[in-house]
Homo-oligomer: A and B are copies of this chain.
């Protein structure tokens, strides 16, 4: 089992990663609490209620996916916890994919003004979202617009949960794994590409997932509230979120497209070929990511969505994370007309 610890000045927590570790590690945490409440993703519960999760009695079940993140679902969740007598001294354990973790984490953050919680991510995508203390639900104006920073007391990432993931989840989750490899180093990205050149298997990417967790932890430990370097984790997300919203494709797929656009813009901005675009185009297409969508995007619409992203604080320019010639991420602001040109260029290059 791997154990990684955050490096905040205080109140640090551990991320436990391994196969078949859930029950053993859980015991370590629950023994400190009189009452433990379980919020479990209904799909995960279906797969593991007779297996890893067999000791959990009466969990509060929540939807898999974004429907867990509506106001109504949030209200049901908090009322349910209160109905069952949650106290400030209780522990909440949230088991599920990224959406369940976001919604369950937000419920833990605001019920009784915050109770301790453990994140138990069960998807590849959630290797990212479960770390860093961001919790949220969705607004009709966009994803994750209502939320809180609430550090978990621990994160238990039992890789056994990944065994039942459908192909689509693996493909989506890989988006963040690939992003972390780019943030890590050129070699990390190259190695991950080699291992997945003919398809993505959990076994092949397990090591990269673990490296991704470390990368994510470094960023969130040094900038918890996203005032500086944590922004780099937004690599590929500025356009990615707009694509996800507009074309209703899974998050990680949209991130792959956003990363491709980032590569194009990084090259243009550096006036140098940092990324061999043709190679990446072939690689992503070979893995069935819908790169062709970039050739059809509505530029005005994309720009309008990016302007309204909660991370964007200006109206006349859009913040972007790019990668420079030394393969380090940096933050820049692109004015609207420059960005329009770049997006046109991307459309034509597809």
Contact = CB atoms under 8 A, between A and B. Distances in A.
A94 to B, nearest CB: 17
Contacts of A280: none
Given A79-B140, A82-B142, A310-B88, A149 B110 contact: no
A112 B146 CA distance: 5
A145 B112 contact: yes
Residue of A79, A89, A113, A139 contacting most chain B CB atoms (<10 Å): A113
Interface of A: 71, 75, 78-79, 82-83, 85, 87-89, 106, 109-114, 134, 136, 139-142, 145-149, 308, 310-313
A79 B308 CA distance: 14
Main secondary structure of the interface of A (DSSP, over half): mixed
Contacts of A149: 113-114
A310 B149 CA distance: 22
A37 to B, nearest CB: 14
A253 to B, nearest CB: 25
A113 B147 contact: yes
A141 to B, nearest CB: 4
Contacts of A109: 148
A112 B148 contact: no
B311 A139 contact: no
A182 to B, nearest CB: 25
A149 B82 CA distance: 19
B87 A146 contact: no
Nearest to A89: B313
B79 A139 contact: yes
6 contacts: A78-B139, A82-B139, A88-B310, A110-B148, A112-B310, A113-B134
